[in-house]
Amino acid sequence: MQPFKLKLITLILSCNLSIFTGICLADTEPFLPTWKNLKPNEKQLYIAGYLNGLRDTEEVVSIAAEYVEKNPALVAQTLKKVQQLCSVSDVGAGALVPEIDAYYSKLENQSAALSLALSSAQQKIRNSK
């Protein structure tokens, strides 16, 4: 494949993933009522978690972009995989917190990244449905 075409595909993928990332992170309801009820330390914790989510998204996008550069014919398939990773509409925070607590209560998981704990919790919840 010509370098120009590869760069063009990468640019298009990056734009699409950026838009998709925004969609993944978008909420359907106004956030101000929640924000107003948070104490300053809770706001810091919330934003720290949100930033962690953005960092995880950046890593997923980076991995997907690298994969597509090596396999340009698999753009649609790669985007579907990224979509599956971002899909959280069927799992709420109330169900996730106890599962994440249980995950971290195991000695072998205590140094795990939040993304691993969250993935494990999501999988456990989805498997129990």
| Band of residue 110 on the pLDDT scale cut at 50, 70, 90 | very high
Give the rounded distance of the alpha carbon of 102 from its chain centre. Answer: 21
User: Which of 81 and 13 is assigned the larger pLDDT?
Assistant: 81
Residue 85 has pLDDT above 50, yes or no: yes
Q: What is the pLDDT of residue 104?
A: 94
Q: Span 58-75, mean pLDDT?
A: 84
Q: How far apart are CA 63 and CA 58, in angstroms?
A: 9
% of residues, the chain, pLDDT over 70: 77
Q: If we measure between CA atoms, which residue out of 119, 13, 116, 4 comes closest to residue 74?
A: 13
Q: If we measure between CA atoms, which residue out of 114, 98, 93, 118 comes closest to residue 34?
A: 93
Residue 12 has pLDDT above 80, yes or no: no
> Concatenated DSSP letters for 90-106?
T--HHHHHHHHHHHHHS
**Average per-residue pLDDT for the chain:** 77
Q: What is the pLDDT of residue 124?
A: 93
Q: What is the pLDDT of residue 28?
A: 61
